[in-house]
Chain A
Amino acid sequence: MTYLHNIGAYFLMIFEMFRKPTKWNVMKQLILKDIDDLIIGSLGIVAFISFFVGGVVTIQTALNIDNPLIPKYLVGFATRQSIILEFAPTFMSIIMAGKVGSFITSSIGTMRVTEQIDALEVMGINSLNYLVFPKFISLLLYPFVISIAMFLGILGGMAACVYGGFSTLQDYIVGIQNDFQTFHVTYAFIKTFVFAFVLATIPSFHGYYMKGGALEVGKASTTSFVWTSVVIIILNYLLTQMLLS
């Protein structure tokens, strides 16, 4: 019953988020702040992880291709497919559930504990619109982060491939261009938009409706990470089934 109640409350929260909009000149500042916190602030970790995971994917692929009949360019091909289809959109979103999701839950949860949300409500402000809507809008730029993850993942793969001596630069470039289907990028970005919505709303839900004190803020952050990850994985399966099969 609790699960059903929470699912209902989550959808009501989303509905409420679009009602009674905050004044645009205030909202504009909130959106810019959230873009800085959630998007710009994530670029460093995204770049670092993407580059090195791209390299690891390439090394693993190259080491597992020991049949001399398999062309070397397949290393680049496999890296590109792994990065574009799954690593960048899905697994980067799981990492962002930890980074961005925890930030959202703990910041909104702390506002709940310290009565800042009550202060907004008393003033007649729709606190859900004030707090959650700017996060939702700023995370519409999330595909930009994932584009960078894709680019750097493939670049990291190239560096590992060439400097590790697994194949030549020409082979790698032929591989990443081989049988390229633009729909795969479209599929990745459709997933990214859906995950962006999940990343903005589920952590907000856990922060906004939390009860208790500082300890519960920590617990809410953990719960929010778990549920955001679970929902991303389930939606990833459903979207892949719908769009690629």
Chain B
Amino acid sequence: MIEVNNLHKSFGDTEVLKGISTTFDKGKTNLIIGQSGSGKTVFLKCLLGLFEYEEGTIAYDGKIFSQLSEDEKRNIRADIGMVFQGSALFDSMTIAQNVMFPLQMFTKQSKSEMEDRVDFVLKRVNLPDAHNKMPSEASGGMQKRVAIARAIVNNPKYLFCDEPNSGLDPKTAIVIDNLIQEITDEYQITTVINSHDMNSVMEIGEKIVFLRLGLKAWEGSNKTIFKTDNEVVTDFVYSSNLFKKVRKMYLEENE
């Protein structure tokens, strides 16, 4: 579980996060949604420790990150898996080497043990024969799956995904969403996803945090988001006619 309390972050005179408090539960897919410029990416980078913040706390399973020693911070980072928007695969390495990289850095496993683990996770993300390909030879969907494999190879406690569906066709996007949800459930990881994709919100949003202008405007799940009266949320989530109709049907069915 990740607990965020009163998080403030500014760039110069511009306050981007204005006191966000929330929790991200273990074994659930937690989504951060909001318009461009709402502070989602900054929030995610604060959670990852890539940005320092002025005020507030972030606790990973009760351990407040800012109060930890460098070694303890490093241990927490070793428990984090991250899927970047552009996959961020190391382009000088093969797919197998990319996936093996966290094992080489953080474990003392023998080469054969590492190879077995890489085989296992590549099979888990449905890429059993991609070992020797370079990232540039893989499609966008394959790259995302390799990024997920690299993120989970070291059995992380926390999985962060920054817009994992961006640039993917709807079918591949659903495959990626389902894969993330299955892995979250299977390994009981605390997963936090930064997303614009309303399909993801409806499909896998077991917990949803809606940000607006650096503030938490709403919090709920893919069940409660249909019923909310919060205009800010409904304006954003049901901005397309399709989702308006879906919502209407859902509400009619559940009346």
Tell me the A residues contacting B by CB distance below 8 Å.
Answer: 20, 22-23, 25-26, 33, 110, 114-116, 118-119, 121-125
Contact of B74 among A25, A118, A124 (CB under 8 A): A124
B80 contacts the other chain (CB 8 A):
yes
A25 CA / B86 CA spacing, docked (Å) = 28
Dominant secondary structure at the B interface:
mixed
- What A residues does B104 contact at CB under 8 A? 23, 25-26
Q: Is the CB of A115 within 8 A of B85?
A: yes
B220 contacts the other chain (CB 8 A):
no
B73 contacts the other chain (CB 8 A):
yes
Known: A122-B48, A122-B50, A124-B78. A115 touches B105 (CB 8 A): no
List 9 A–B pairs whose Cβ atoms lie within 8 Å, in order of A's numbering. A110-B91, A114-B86, A116-B88, A116-B89, A122-B48, A122-B50, A122-B160, A123-B77, A124-B74
Q: Is the CB of B48 within 8 A of A115?
A: no
Task: Look across to chain B and name the residue whose beta carbon is closest to the beta carbon of A37.
Answer: B92
Q: Is the CB of A122 within 8 A of B77?
A: yes
A110 CA / B135 CA spacing, docked (Å) = 14
Closest chain A CB from B150 CB (angstroms)? 8
A25 CA / B100 CA spacing, docked (Å) = 14
B167 contacts the other chain (CB 8 A):
no
Q: How many residues belonging to B are interface residues under a CB distance threshold of 8 Å?
A: 24
- What A residues does B78 contact at CB under 8 A? 123-124
**Contact digits for B42-57, partner A, Cβ 8 Å, 1 yes 0 no:** 0000001110000000
Closest chain A CB from B88 CB (angstroms)? 4
- What A residues does B89 contact at CB under 8 A? 116
Tally of A-B residue pairs with Cβ under 8 A? 52
Task: Look across to chain B and name the residue whose beta carbon is closest to the beta carbon of A19.
Answer: B70
Q: Is the CB of B48 within 8 A of A114?
A: no
- What B residues does A26 contact at CB under 8 A? 104-105
Tell me the B residues contacting A by CB distance below 8 Å.
Answer: 48-50, 73-78, 80, 82, 84-86, 88-92, 102, 104-106, 160
Known: A25-B104, A119-B82, A122-B80. A114 touches B50 (CB 8 A): no
A20 CA / B74 CA spacing, docked (Å) = 10
Q: Is the CB of B105 within 8 A of A123?
A: yes
Q: Is the CB of A116 within 8 A of B91?
A: yes
Q: Is the CB of A118 within 8 A of B77?
A: no
A67 CA / B73 CA spacing, docked (Å) = 75
Closest chain B CB from A205 CB (angstroms)? 20
Q: Is the CB of A114 within 8 A of B105?
A: no
- What B residues does A125 contact at CB under 8 A? 105
- What A residues does B75 contact at CB under 8 A? 124
Known: A23-B104, A115-B84, A115-B85. A122 touches B49 (CB 8 A): yes
- What A residues does B76 contact at CB under 8 A? 124
Closest chain A CB from B84 CB (angstroms)? 5
Closest chain B CB from A107 CB (angstroms)? 8
- What A residues does B90 contact at CB under 8 A? 116, 119
- What A residues does B91 contact at CB under 8 A? 110, 114, 116
Q: Identify which of A22, A26, A114, A123 gathers the most chain B CB atoms within 10 Å of its CB.
A: A123
Closest chain A CB from B85 CB (angstroms)? 7
Closest chain A CB from B154 CB (angstroms)? 9
